[in-house]
Amino acid sequence: MTAYLVVHATLTDPNRFRSYSDIVPQLVRDFGGEYIVLGGDNEVLEGEWSGARLVIHRWPDRKSAKLFWNSPQYQKAKKLREGTGQFKVMLVEGLVNEALK
């Protein structure tokens, strides 16, 4: 079942964050994921959104996403974002095609 890593990021130091964002996209690809949302323009339609960026990666399954998340390569990269903002990350399973019928 497809899984999604959903990241809610509020950056406080975009310049330092760049060292993280320069290397993580390749790691995502190397582990079999793909970006489907990468902090593009947004429009709030309801509720409050405090200037945070939204990032969503699609993964073949939960196991693949967790292999990426727990990998030594990502753990090393993750240290580069320390002190650059506030991050909330959630792993969510997608719908099985049968559920859509």
Catalogue all structural domains in the chain, each as residue range(s) with its CATH number: 3-95 (3.30.70.100)
CB 65 within 8 A of CB 3: yes
Going from the C-alpha of 72 to that of each of 31, 51, 69, the distances in angstroms are 12, 31, 9
Question: In whole angstroms, how far apart are CA 48 and each of 27, 36, 43, 63, 73?
Answer: 32, 23, 11, 33, 35
Average pLDDT, the chain: 91
Confidence category of residue 10, pLDDT binned at 50, 70, 90: very high
Query: Could you tell me the pTM of the whole model?
Result: 0.87
Strand pairing partners for 57?
5, 35
Interior angle at CA 9, CA 80 and CA 79, nearest 5: 15
